[in-house]
Amino acid sequence: MSDSLGSKSETPYSRHSEPNEGDADGGDGSGLNADGTTSTGKSSAKRISKYFTVRLLQAAVTVTLAVYASILIANAGGAVDELRIGQIREQQSVYLSQSPEFRDLRSERRRDLIDEHVQMEIRRLGLDEPFIFRSFRYLRNALTLDLGRAEYLTSESGSRQVRYIILERLPPTLYLFASGNLILFFLSVFGALFLSRRYGSKLDRAVVALAPTSTAPNWFYGIFLVLIFSAVLGWLPFGGMVASPPPANPFLYFLSLVRHLVLPVTAVVLNLLFVSIYTYRTFFLLYSSEDYVEMAKAKGLRSGVVERRYILRPTLPTIITNFSLSMITVWLGSILLEGVFNWPGLGSLIMQAISQTDTPVIIGSVAIYSYLLVFTFLILDVVYAIVDPRVGVGSGGAES
């Protein structure tokens, strides 16, 4: 059980003893895969699918607990209860004011009637039960994003259901996040490989010197990019996802989308690029001083092969772990990044919800971000399992 965690917790500092036991494995594993991918393909697929299933279950438990914890925080001062009762009151007063049989009632009589109905609803929905029972109902609602109606915000299609409002904003956020981070990942891995070959060069030193710039969050870079490329130079749009009105031609639409993506994606990449290259470069350098690398070089293998098979391959799991931890900050930083670029995603939605104090939407976004975080980890776990042949062993606790 804890073995998979142990390997997940590898960090720049944590591998002091690992290479010794990992050497043989890493070397063997990569050799094996390079030589006999077809023969082990089936079993590794089985291994990964089993691993994935276990991980999926773990992720489900994690999300549930995280959302439950958030609910406890949210209701620490009774805010969720107030919100629910407010929603019921609104519902009842709309119902009573619209039904013809109550139209002629005097206003105070109607108010009493509303109070009566609200009390009935509270009892019917079990809101008078102790919080511990209700909290589980809130949990179910939050997990299914069944959060009732937003107070002010509406979706593009005009719906006030929190679920539709949130789900509608998901795709733009995912475009931005996925494109930014894929570019970041590959750019930094190859940049790091490139630099580890030129260890000590001017370029290498420049990147090391630039690594501290990553302390600023990505929206901070966004502000400067807007300042330079939109305000001063006027080359790229200030914000938004497509030009307004959106071009009808799909190709032009795509071009416009790309044009709007340039700056936010650059902000995401620029934010972590140097520190990632610096960290990965360090991993590469550590691994390239291992004996089996010397051995491979001595065998006369081409440097490209040595790099791919003997340096990159065993380092990848460590890199992925590192990348996966940095995702937490990227996800949360992009809330404001979207705000800076007026990107119509979840982040902008949260900012709108804050400015209008739309509580159901804010609570819903806690749930959706928990999902997003956990799914990111899950995907990276699967990638981890694919690149690290050792993983299957401890995943379910079956073998160890």
Give strand ranges (E) for 6-78: none
Rounded CA-CA distance 393/221 in Å is 42
CB of 59 to other proteins, least distance (A): 8
Query: For residues 122 and 351, which CB has a smaller minimum distance to other proteins in the complex?
Result: 351
CB of 278 to other proteins, least distance (A): 8
**Cα-only R_g, the chain:** 27
In angstroms, give the least distance from the CB of 190 to other proteins. 19
Decide whether 81 or 102 has the Cβ nearer to other proteins: 81
Nearer of residues 1 and 398 to other proteins, judged by Cβ: 1
- State the nearest-atom distance from the C-beta of 107 to other proteins, in Å: 31
Q: Could you tell me the smallest distance in angstroms from the CB atom of residue 17 to other proteins? A: 6
**Which residues, 6 or more positions from 342, have their beta carbon under 8 angstroms from its beta carbon?**
238, 239, 240, 348
Nearer to other proteins, 117 or 219 (CB): 219
Nearest CB to other proteins, comparing residues 33 and 213: 213
Select 185 or 284, whichever has its Cβ closest to other proteins: 284
Do residues 214 and 275 make contact, with C-beta atoms less than 8 angstroms apart? yes
CB 350 within 8 Å of CB 42: no
As a whole number of angstroms, the distance between CA 15 and CA 17 comes to 6
| Cβ–Cβ < 8 Å for 177, 267 | no
Question: Cα(first)–Cα(last) distance of the chain, in Å?
Answer: 9
Instruction: Tell me the torsion sign for CA atoms 95, 101, 104, 109.
Output: negative
Closest CA to 395 of 378, 376, 375: 378
Token look-up 């990965």 returns 280
Task: Supply the minimum distance, in Å, between the C-beta of residue 254 and other proteins.
Answer: 27
